[in-house]
Amino acid sequence: MSKRVRKAVLPVAGMGTRVLPGAKTTPKNLLNVVDRPILSYVVEEARAAGIEHFVFIVGRGQGAIEDYFDTNPEVENALEAKGKADILADVRRDLGKPGEMSFIRQMAPLGLGHAVWCAREVIGDEPFAVMLPDMLMAAERPALAQAVDAYNKVGGNIIAVEPAPEGETYKYGIVALEAQNGRLNRMTGMVEKPPLGTEPSNLFISGRYILQPEIFQILGTQPRGAGGEIQLTDAMATLMTRQDFHALEYEGTTYDCGDKIGLLRANVAFALARPDLADEARAAIKALL
Ligand code: UTP
């Protein structure tokens, strides 16, 4: 029986270059999609997958992330006094429970692999999830829960993937599969941004992973890779020579909120999916078109 996945690492220390200047003083993952920060959706997704401890890898100037998940008596008391019970409930819905969140400073943005490595002491010797919080996933069964289901079936390491739009595989990390039968397939490799025509499949790595703790030893000794950064992909490729990796084509849609148009698409899609806003949102969009 595989060990249960209880902890998730959420690296949020990147520069957010593609959504500057918005991300200059507000951490990118606190930008709103409709009326909640991106991170709110991702933490909700993690909870739905049974995650009990959240490890945020943060950078300088990102204290607002801790504050978001903490109580704010001034705001809460004011809402209570004004009888705004629905807004108060909405504000409180996102609060962390005492002890369930850790915040670790990355100190230098040396890459996603380095960010994940910073979580090693808090994760310890157990499998864990990695969630790239700028990737919002709309799915009936939350994406990470689907990855945990897959992990409970086959163990080892799981990477959530999604078909890339026609002709766009060159923009992504693409997986190579032993054979493509159904949604869960054994991986034989992965390649970062393959030139068009050389891609081993059309499935891109979409930002949810279940990894075994042996990844930390690899990350700790790995030289810098592409862009002078410590790449998670390189460490996973090394781990794949020793352990099983499966790609899960999860059911749902990914929105890359680290990108201007991706963030816009997420706002439109999530507003249209909200029963309380759908009609007004549709009318507003129609009027603009
Ligand atoms: P990205 O490359 O998508 O994010 O990294 P970024 O660096 O913020 O974006 P751009 O390219 O400058 O616009 C994927 C995730 O990994 C985190 C980012 O915060 C993002 O959530 N990350 C990346 C770190 O935490 N530390 C790093 O050193 C690099």
CA of 70 to the centre of ligand 1 (A): 24
Task: With respect to residue 247, please indicate whether it lies within any of the assigned structural domains.
Answer: yes
pLDDT at 257: 93
What tokens were used for 231?
């790449």
What value, to the nearest 5°, has the Cα angle with vertex 120 and ends 117 and 123?
A: 130
Task: With respect to residue 262, please indicate whether it lies within any of the assigned structural domains.
Answer: yes
In the chain, the number of structural domains is 1
Residue 226 has pLDDT above 90, yes or no: no
Task: With respect to residue 108, please indicate whether it lies within any of the assigned structural domains.
Answer: yes
Structural Rg of the chain based on CA atoms: 19
- Give me the phi and psi of 254, to 5 degrees please: -100, 135
Minimal-distance CA residue to ligand 1 atom 29? 111
CA dihedral for 103, 68, 131, 31, sign (positive or negative): negative
CA of 21 to the centre of ligand 1 (A): 15
Surface-to-core class of residue 117, CB atoms within 10 Å of its CB (0-12 exposed, 13-18 middle, 19+ buried): buried
Task: With respect to residue 178, please indicate whether it lies within any of the assigned structural domains.
Answer: yes
Task: With respect to residue 1, please indicate whether it lies within any of the assigned structural domains.
Answer: no
What integer is the mean pLDDT of 118-127?
98
Label residues 140-173 b or e (16+ Cβ within 10 Å = b).
eebbbbbbbebbeeebbbbbbbbebeeeebeebb
What integer is the mean pLDDT of 88-92?
93
Task: With respect to residue 52, please indicate whether it lies within any of the assigned structural domains.
Answer: yes
Q: How far is the C-alpha of 207 from the C-alpha of 27, rounded, in Å?
A: 18
What integer is the mean pLDDT of 174-182?
94
Of 29, 30, 134, the residue with max ligand 1 atoms within 8 A of its CB, to mutate for a pocket test, comes to 134
Q: Mapping DSSP to helix (H, G, I), strand (E, B) and coil, where does residue 17 land? A: helix
Closest atom of ligand 1 to CA, residue 29: 21
What integer is the mean pLDDT of 256-263?
93
pLDDT at 82: 95
Residues in the chain, total: 289
CA of 48 to the centre of ligand 1 (A): 24
Q: Are 162 and 267 in contact (CB under 8 A)?
A: no
Pocket of ligand 1 (CB under 6 A): 11-18, 28, 57, 106, 109-112, 114-115, 132-134, 258
CA of 134 to the centre of ligand 1 (A): 8
pLDDT digits (tens, 9 = 90+) for 7-20: 999 999 988 888 88
CA of 283 to the centre of ligand 1 (A): 35
pLDDT at 110: 93
Q: Are 248 and 147 in contact (CB under 8 A)?
A: yes
CA of 256 to the centre of ligand 1 (A): 12
Residue 2 has pLDDT above 80, yes or no: no
The CATH number for 60's domain is 3.90.550.10
Task: With respect to residue 277, please indicate whether it lies within any of the assigned structural domains.
Answer: yes
Task: With respect to residue 2, please indicate whether it lies within any of the assigned structural domains.
Answer: no
What integer is the mean pLDDT of 243-250?
98
Closest atom of ligand 1 to CA, residue 259: 13
Of 10, 15, 114, the residue with max ligand 1 atoms within 8 A of its CB, to mutate for a pocket test, comes to 15
Q: How far is the C-alpha of 254 from the C-alpha of 154, rounded, in Å?
A: 24
What tokens were used for 167?
């002709």
pLDDT at 1: 58
Supply the mean pLDDT for the chain: 94
pLDDT digits (tens, 9 = 90+) for 13-68: 988 888 888 888 889 999 999 999 999 999 999 999 999 999 999 999 899 999 99
Residue 118 has pLDDT above 80, yes or no: yes
- Domain hosting 159: range is 7-288
Residue 132 — pLDDT band, cuts 50, 70, 90? Answer: very high
